[in-house]
Amino acid sequence: MDLSAMLFGSATPHLPPRCSATSTRSNSTENLAIEGQNLKFSVRTRQGNWVPILKDCSLRVPSGQLWMLLGPNGCGKSTLLKILAGLLKPTGGALYVKRPKSFVFQNPDHQVVMPTVEADVSFGLGKFILTEEEVRHRVSKSLDAVGMSTYMKRPVQTLSGGQKQRVAIAGALAEACKVLLLDELTTFLDESDQVFNNSVDLAYISDQNEY
């Protein structure tokens, strides 16, 4: 299936509706967070046939912007996001994604695994060499960014779906990700939470069905 989705940036939309996802802007000095050229993804059926899911998908996402990937059910939005996250390997094309990058799953129960909010947000920081003070600072700053600083000691099983999703986003921010990939951001978050302020040099890209 062709990706006939629409990409919206926080500045000028880069793509006309229902075209292949190709940006027309070309500026070699641009600080790009994501660049994909002619990405392809196919799956093999039990009968041994290859079924194309993405065909020649190209996109350029500058740093510091929020982009939304819009399109009808089944057009390939989640597949593209998983490729950008490195969870799926494209079967063709070239891809650059600035690191560190984080992927927030549609269902936060797949991601929020530790007993308390504080433990969950600090969980991913174990791979860095950080002082306890730095860990505390990052956890507190990222929970603040998602409006959850008063929930630090709360058991995660007492949180709503949207609160868990915010905790998952806080975990990604704590790791100082440069690219934040959000699968169906609106599943749990309310409207006011869907774009939150963060001054870091970060690109957000989210997939969303058209309404």
Distance (Å, rounded) from C-alpha 115 to C-alpha 105? Answer: 18
Comparing CB distances to ligand ATP, the nearer of 72 and 155 is 72
Comparing CB distances to ligand ATP, the nearer of 104 and 159 is 104
Output b/e per residue, 18-56; b: 16+ Cβ within 10 A: eebbbbeeeeeeeebbbbbebbebeeeeeeeeeeebbbb
Comparing CB distances to ligand ATP, the nearer of 78 and 149 is 78
Q: Categorise residue 166: left if φ over 0, alpha if ψ from -120 to 50, beta otherwise.
A: alpha
Q: Is 1 in the site for ligand ATP (CB under 6 A)?
A: yes
Q: Given the structure tokens 């505390």, which residue do they identify?
A: 136
Q: Is 178 in the site for ligand ATP (CB under 6 A)?
A: no
Q: Is 73 in the site for ligand ATP (CB under 6 A)?
A: yes
Of the candidates 18, 25, 50, 74, which one interacts with ligand ATP according to CB under 6 A? Answer: 74
Q: Is 79 in the site for ligand ATP (CB under 6 A)?
A: yes
Q: Which residues bind ligand ATP (CB under 6 A)?
A: 1, 43, 53, 71, 73-79, 207, 209
